Amino acid sequence: MKTTSFAVVTIAVLTFACVATADELKLKIATEGAYPPFNSIDASGNLVGFDVDIAKAVCHEMKATCSFIAVPWDDIIPRLENNQYDLIVASMSYTDARAKRMEFSDSYYRSHSAFAGDPNRFKDISPAALKGLRIAAGSQTIQSEYLQKAYTESTIVLTKDQPEAQKLLQAGEVDLVLADSIDLLTFLQAPESSKFDYVGDPVTNDFLKSSAHITAHKGNHALIAKVNEAISQIRLNGTYDRINNTYFPFSIY
């Protein structure tokens, strides 16, 4: 009798374990890997940065097993649509056009856009003042879209990502860059960028509202709901602040 009971219990436990394993949430997450300090690839080939740490914290709250992949910015939305991964955590700003293609989480940080260049050369950043000048921005960013709409008399140079735009500025191949102000902070603090600084005030308008979101496949409301709950939890339990303070001397929430 005892042997039979033990066998039944053992089978039940094993069956439960199989169900639990089958129901385990496994997610593949894409980030760019070329947008420090938010996401980049370190000397060992590992993805690191604020976005990556936030994604790991969200995964922990969701009790999900997550793997990460670096994807070029130009490919990151199409490859999500082709079901190559489940989430994008790459400082993705909300736009109406993107919302037609993906589901957006609540924001996990906010920032402004700003011009950077030689402050001894430039003070006025109005379209009229920058007529004929070369301005760079990463392609398919809200900054590049804004420049093409508002600075029609400037030469707009679109690069594969923001670091490439910054390299063009350092090389003297463009006069200014327009980028996320937090992203520019790391660039401007580098010794090789000592002659550059923010130029003018942050660019604030409805088009350049910049809040970063986690995105999922269009229609995957259930997963986004779990992500939103996890974001709320890491804000409440102090995890978010610890990650924030690792990268920035001020709150970016």
- The pLDDT tens digits for 81-104 are 999 999 999 999 998 999 999 999
SS3 at position 88: strand
Same domain, 15 and 61: yes
pLDDT for position 17: 40
Alpha helices in the chain (DSSP H): 2-23, 50-61, 73-81, 96-99, 142-150, 162-170, 181-189, 221-236, 239-247
Same domain, 106 and 219: yes
Same domain, 153 and 92: no
Per-residue pLDDT at 21 exceeds 50: no
Same domain, 91 and 129: no
pTM: 0.71
- Give domain status of residue 34, yes or no: yes
Q: Is 176 exposed, middle or buried (0-12, 13-18, 19+ CB in 10 A)?
A: buried
Structure confidence by residue, pLDDT tens digits, 143-180: 999 999 999 999 999 999 889 999 999 999 999 999 98
- Give domain status of residue 17, yes or no: yes
Cis peptide before 37 (omega within 30 of 0): yes
Domain of 138 in residue numbering reads as 113-203
- Give domain status of residue 222, yes or no: yes
